[in-house]
Amino acid sequence: MLLQVLVRLRCARAAACTGLVSRRWRGLWARLPGLTFRDIPVSKIKSALESVARGTSVSLLEIRPSRSMSSLAAEAKVEDARAKSLLLSATRFSPEEMVFILPRCPKIGRAITIALPCFGRATSIELDTCSHRITPPVGELPVLEMLSISGNIAKVDSLLKCCPRLRVLGITFRGAKPDCLVAELSTLEAAAVLGLTVSRLGIEFEGRHRVVDGPRFDYLLRAAARLAPHELLFTSHFIRSVDADLVCFNRTTSIEMNLYTIRFTQLQAGEFSALERLVLNGCTITDLVTMIIRCPRLRVLKVTADMSARDVTVHSASLEELELDVQIDTECQSIQVVTPLLKQLKLKVHGRTNFHVSILAPVVEKSARFA
């Protein structure tokens, strides 16, 4: 009964603290079927795990360590090495579900290489190494069915070969070279043809690899569309303004693009039939009206209106949250919003000329305007 109470705390640290209340609770946390550590330094997590009896198996092992605020490269290197050692030591618990998330932080010094350990009983793994390099395991993950992996991922083909029962993959590439990423996406396309479901595809170019030219961006975007991920995240920078085509993602439910100086001038044929969330930061769509028409299930829209548009119109029967950024450059420019289900509205207007705003949103609950 006491263990059932501790399970509901959903935190190993909180469960351990109950030992201060009564001796009956002391040490019981180490017998929990699932162990969760959040916002705790790596060294303390490792010390806690070492106090758990050898041979203990858990259904869930979740580790989300805190990150020190030190700006010294030497201290960051030591902390990263401890995190790598902690992940390796977690294999002795043979978890059925493994979660290991390193916090995002400014890159200090050289990144380390982390090999995915062999968790023999794991059916689900979520691994985020921030920007550190991830390599495939030496052995096999024989029963793994769901994998979510984020970082500087290498050798996707070898990784997939180590997971013979993998059905669902969520993957975020960080810091990859554009040329290498082309090959990795081709590997994923071949796996998708054989039945692999890509639940999430993230592409985040960093450092000296963050600048991508127009043709390479076009290829990567089309490859992403062929994979048809449920969720797409694309982050990159461009040296100069680039006009591009926005291809159709007919099975994707969420698209977020942080693409500075990109301008989508053409919409390829097709309907975004499953899309519920669209966020565009630093990039615009010249034909926003048509884009919204092609998204019959759109609930969240956060965009910057294209500067070439004299009138900005948002008509949607499904939209519930709208964030619209408008640059006013011409006299009497108009903004019209007609969304009967809208609950949240944020409107940002930049410029000193006259403009007209018309909003029809009868059930809106929260609104903000910046002019």
pLDDT (tens digit per residue) in 270-299? 999 999 999 999 889 999 999 999 999 999
Task: List the single range of 29-38, 95-104, 317-326 with lowest mean pLDDT.
Answer: 29-38
Could you report the per-residue pLDDT of 31-65, keeping only the tens digit for each?
667 888 889 889 889 888 888 877 788 899 999 99
Torsions phi, psi of 85, nearest 5?
Answer: -65, -35
Q: Please tell me the predicted confidence (pLDDT) of residue 357.
A: 85
What CA dihedral angle connects 295, 298, 304 and 305, to 10 degrees?
Answer: 50
Q: Which residue has the higher pLDDT, 69 or 304?
A: 304
- Tell me how far apart the alpha carbons of residues 44 and 64 are, in angstroms, rounded to a whole number: 12
- Mean pLDDT over residues 185-196, rounded? 94
55-58 CB contacts, 8 Å cutoff, 24+ apart: 56/30, 56/31, 56/93, 57/93, 57/94, 57/95, 57/121, 58/32, 58/33, 58/34, 58/93, 58/94, 58/95, 58/96
**Percent of the chain whose predicted confidence (pLDDT) is above 90:** 51
pLDDT given for residue 47 in this prediction: 87
Res 153: pLDDT: 93
Which residues face 147 on adjacent strands? 125, 169
Task: With a cut of 90, say whether residue 146 has pLDDT above it.
Answer: yes
Mean pLDDT of the chain, nearest integer: 86
pLDDT band at 140 (very low <50, low <70, confident <90, very high): very high
Rounded (10°) angle between helices 178-193 and 214-227: 20
Closest Cα partner for 112 from 150, 72, 83, 90? 83
Structure tokens at 230: 């449920």
Whether the per-residue pLDDT at 267 is higher than 80: the answer is: yes
The predicted pLDDT at position 88 comes to 92
In this prediction, residue 70 carries a pLDDT of: 57
Mean pLDDT, residues 325-335 taken together: 74
User: Which residues share a beta bridge with 337?
Assistant: 314, 359
pLDDT at 210 over 60: no
Instruction: State the pLDDT at residue 330.
Output: 63
Higher pLDDT, 273 or 67: 273
Q: Looking at residue 102, what DSSP letter applies?
A: P
Band the pLDDT of 211: cuts 50, 70, 90. Answer: low
Question: CA 312 from chain center: how many Å?
Answer: 30
Residue 27: pLDDT band (50, 70, 90) is: low
Measured CA to CA, the distance from residue 159 to residue 145 in angstroms comes to 13
pLDDT of residue 166: 97
pLDDT for 356: 82
Q: What is the pLDDT of residue 341?
A: 94
- Pairing outcome for strands 300-304 and 277-285: parallel
pLDDT of residue 186: 94
**At 291, is the secondary structure helix, strand, or coil?**
helix
Answer whether residue 14 shows pLDDT above 80: no
Q: Give yes or no for a contact between 42 and 79, defined as CB atoms under 8 angstroms apart.
A: yes
- Predicted TM-score (pTM) of the model is 0.88
Residue 268 DSSP SS3: coil
- Is-contact 95 59, C-beta < 8 A? yes
* pLDDT at res. 154: 86
Confidence at residue 180, expressed as pLDDT on a 0 to 100 scale: 85
| Higher per-residue confidence, 137 vs 306 | 137
DSSP state of 176: -
User: Is residue 162 within 8 Å of 140, Cβ to Cβ?
Assistant: yes
Mean pLDDT of 302-306: 89
Query: Which residues, in sequence order, are bridge partners of residue 359?
Result: 337
270 close to 293: Cβ distance less than 8 angstroms: no
Q: Which of 13-27, 289-303, 338-352 shows the lowest mean pLDDT across its residues? A: 13-27
Least confident among 116-120, 178-182, 249-253, 328-332: 328-332
Contacting residues for 241 by C-beta, under 8 A, at least 6 apart: 261, 262, 263
Neighbours of 357 (CB within 10 A): 15
Q: Which of 162, 74, 73 is nearest to 117 (CA)?
A: 162
More confident residue, 98 or 371: 98
Report the share of the chain in percent with pLDDT over 70. 84
The C-alpha atoms of residue 100 and residue 77 are separated, in whole angstroms, by 18
